[in-house]
Amino acid sequence: RLAQDDGRGLGQGVMDNVPTRTRLRVILEKGGYVFNTNNFNITDAVRRYWDELQHPLEFFGNRTKELDKSLVVTDPAKHEQERLDRRTWREQIRNGVLGHGAGSDLIIPRGGRFHDAFMDDKVKARLPVKAFDPAAAQTFHLAEDERTKPDGDVPFVFMVFNRLHYFNQTIESLRQSDFPRDRVPVIISHDGHIPEVVQYVETMKSDFHVIQLFHPFSCYDHQTSFPGNDEKLNEGYKGDKAGNSRTAGVTCAKHHFTWMLNEVFSVNITTSKGPVENFAFLEEDYIIGPSIYEAITVGLHVLAQAETAVPGGIIGLELDPTLAGNRKEQKTLGDQWYAMQFATGPMTLGRNIFRKMKASAESYCTFDDYNWDWSMVKLAILDKLPHVILGPARMLVKHIGLEGMHTEQIKKTKKKQHDVELEPWVGRRFANRKVAKKKAPGYGGWAHPVDQEHCRNLFSGTANVTHLYEYWEQYKLNFS
């Protein structure tokens, strides 16, 4: 009906979007309805809304266009039968009658085309996945130095600034978990010498084997010089992609993460289980689940078995598949890890992935985005990192921070996880599915040549602030 009646040039859009984007409107009326009757009555308000919904395209105004004749139904009976056939097919796929899972390339036929449901993040999070059969899986080649080495212990690395009220809860939950604190070190990377945080970490040393790292280029310790707010660095600077001047509060976290990553992987740590190949990276505001360590160590073996079945490999293990409450847990998957789109941490990373990042330092350091995770997503888009990460069916950690590490902005969406109780979970199987690459538009804040040069120097091991000021003066002379 819409294809025949719509004269506003929206015919194809309607045919494409109505089947998957149907709107449900719920009306709560305070008065005008008799509640003490057993009969359902349609009120005047509902009638008016129903009339409106029968002509939804009136929202777009009264401008008319010549209707594309290819959209006009010339054989109503045939059109109706095709519609019923499509509905039957969808129901059979949904009920598992046909052999098409969500990992199939061909999901639902629509208008002579095939729709890949995994191109839609919201749809993707709800669809089932195919059980992984290593014997039947198509394999993709990974060089030996690209493969994950799953054996050995996994130290936890905490990126810490000044939110002690969160960090205290994080460490208390770590104490209650299965983390083997008698054997495996906890690495604390401080973004500055903040007295109360340093003092608290000292108290941890009676219960944990603590390795303390202090970011030597922290904004806290250098508030009026690089990488802090030095106004000389804005003289002659044209701004980022949006024209914004350099702001230390924006750049601090990426500087810290980049330094921390290089520092951690430069340290050779050996436990009773041998050399350490993988680390779990977290921030200071995550509650730790009770079975996290077993889940990670078992999950790394699942990853090592599954990574050749995924084009480009797998970047690591995601510890919070809800991405701080923005997605739902996939509880129906039971004890399975599933292929999901890499977006952010907390996560595990191995030396194989760090080698790829180091080889791609130029792309990472020059991407105009102040977020370290979006910068890694950019590398995945460029095929310099895997774009797939393994997500657990249940959360292994939950995010409790309501504001950013270097900002005071409260994020209301992050309140969702506070009441979630973490339960023991260990995944021993892999559920595969097709995963599209995430887009990384670049949110700015990272276009200053000095920030980019310092980032390069961190990867090359030649970081020197004095050199950066000389570099900036020479840069202005060359490009003025």
Query: Is 165 a known ligand-binding residue?
Result: no
Distance between CA atoms of residues 140 and 383, nearest Å = 14
| Secondary element (H or E) of residue 279 | strand 278-283
Query: Is 320 a known ligand-binding residue?
Result: no
State yes or no: cis peptide before 150, omega within 30 of 0.
no
User: What is the radius of gyration, based on Cα positions, of the chain?
Assistant: 27
Q: Residue 246 CA to chain centroid, in angstroms?
A: 26
Distance between CA atoms of residues 295 and 298, nearest Å = 5
Which whole-number Å values give the CA distances from 346 to 53, 216, 322, in the listed order? Answer: 44, 23, 11
Long-range contacts for 101-107 (Cβ within 8 Å, ≥24 apart)? 101/128, 101/129, 101/130, 101/433, 102/127, 102/128, 102/129, 102/130, 102/433, 103/129, 103/130, 103/432, 103/433, 103/434, 104/130, 105/434
Query: Is 121 a known ligand-binding residue?
Result: no
- Among residues 274, 275, 338, the alpha carbon closest in space to that of 302 is found at 338
Which whole-number Å values give the CA distances from 4 to 19, 66, 76, 162, 394, in the listed order? Answer: 17, 12, 11, 62, 47
Residue 446 · residue 240 · CB < 8 Å: yes
User: Binding site: which residues?
Assistant: 191, 285, 399
User: Binding site for substrate: which residues?
Assistant: 191
User: Binding site for Mn(2+): which residues?
Assistant: 285, 399
